Amino acid sequence: MPSVLTVRQLNSYVRSLIEGDSRLSFVSVSGEISNFKNHYSSGHLYFSLKDKDALIKCVMFRGSAVGLKFVPQDGMQVVCTGRVSLYEKDGQYQFYIDNMVEAGKGDLAEQFRIIKEKLEKEGLFAPETKRALPKFPKRVAVVTSDTGAAYRDIINVISRRFPICEIVMFPVLVQGNDAAPSMINALDSLYERDDIDVIIIGRGGGSAEDLWAFNDEMLARKIYESPIPVISAVGHETDFSISDFVADLRAPTPSAAAEIAVPDISEIKGRVNTLLSRIKNSAEIYTTRAEASLNKCRQCVYLLNPNTIVDDKSLTIDRLSERLTNAYNSVYIDNSNKLEKLTLKLDAISPLKVLSRGFAIAQKNTEIIKSVNQLSNDDSISLRFRDGVANCIVVDKDNE
């Protein structure tokens, strides 16, 4: 058994369903005003919008109503833009209007302005979101009518400029109430593929009414969501649509879109030929320089007479050997002279030299005796002379 809801809960749920439908969050409706009421105290407008088959309750709050450029009256044909929701208290679904224009008095231009300003504020036209087109696309998808001149123009231009590119056709309606949903469905199918490089969406020229499908807000949002770069080509050069602003690139005509989407193969061939010519010239210059260098090497004396290398190196070794010998002799003589001088100095202060002059060294138990006070009578001492040692006994000592 289902759970039991209160009336408020049911109305709240239905309201969430209505407001959750993005197609009802921003919609334009034309009809005749009836039961018009102006609550002067609040400034809100309440009325119905009807045609010969149906009627819907409408509310336009003061913040939006103050911008009206005319006074609404019963029986007046108007185009209203806003959102659909449900008033929970009465269980009545209503049309909440943000903007209203008289039918036939610039209503399309006003709707265009409203949609453009809304999407621009949301950042859908921001330059930093635009993507660059691939230089050499393999597949270009075309979203347009398969019976119109635009498709034939695109095929002719791409086939002529870049015949190796494959054209993938997605036939759609481009005019009427079903045109925008038809293009949205085509884009959904395209987004599921991973082999498309560029998308061209558009149609040929026509009246503002004929081109109106390309101003559809939901179509604009779908183009903005594209994972593939999109070129918008709607109408003639002077025609602008919302799709032009939200796409990655705008082309003034479908033919121009085809020219933008693919490179010109004749230009590519010309560039390739230029590069080949430059490579050929560079190779010839390199070869000429290499041959000149080789000929110079062939004339080298060392290649003509290899023994010259040995002779030159032998001469260099001899010169280095002579320099090394001279350096050695110079160092040896200098050090020998220094050694001789040091030897003379050392000999001059040698104890043996002193002994040779008649002096002797007195020792007691290997200790040199420097004073008579170190001796006692009967001490055994030794006297070292130049040519030997004499052992003696102290008989007597005399201090001076």
Q: Each residue of 226-271: pLDDT tens digit?
A: 999 999 999 887 778 999 999 999 999 999 999 999 999 999 999 9
Percentage of the chain exceeding pLDDT 70: 92
Q: Each residue of 134-173: pLDDT tens digit?
A: 999 999 999 999 998 999 999 999 999 999 999 999 999 9
The band of 302, judged by pLDDT with boundaries at 50, 70 and 90, is low
Q: Name 108's Cβ contacts closer than 8 Å, sequence gap at least 6.
A: 208, 209, 212
The band of 103, judged by pLDDT with boundaries at 50, 70 and 90, is confident
Judged against a pLDDT cut of 70, whether residue 355 lies above it is answered with no
Query: In terms of pLDDT, which residue wins out, 203 or 296?
Result: 203
Please provide the distance, in angstroms rounded to a whole number, between the alpha carbons at the two ends of the chain: 147
Mean pLDDT of the chain: 87
What is the mean pLDDT of the segment spanning 335-358? 75
The band of 343, judged by pLDDT with boundaries at 50, 70 and 90, is confident
pLDDT at position 193: 94
**Residue 168 buriedness (CB in 10 A; 0-12 / 13-18 / 19+):** middle
Judged against a pLDDT cut of 60, whether residue 68 lies above it is answered with yes
Cα–Cα distances in Å, from 266 out to 25, 160, 166, 186?
Answer: 50, 9, 18, 33
Handedness of CA 187, 258, 169, 166 (dihedral sign): negative
Least confident of 70-84, 327-341, 348-362: 348-362
Q: 127-263 domain in CATH 1.10.1270.20?
A: no
Query: In terms of pLDDT, which residue wins out, 112 or 350?
Result: 112
Could you give the count of Cα atoms lying within 13 Å of 216 in the half-sphere of its Cβ?
Answer: 23
Handedness of CA 351, 352, 353, 354 (dihedral sign): positive
CATH number of 7-105: 2.40.50.140
Cα 156 from Cα 136, distance rounded (Å): 18
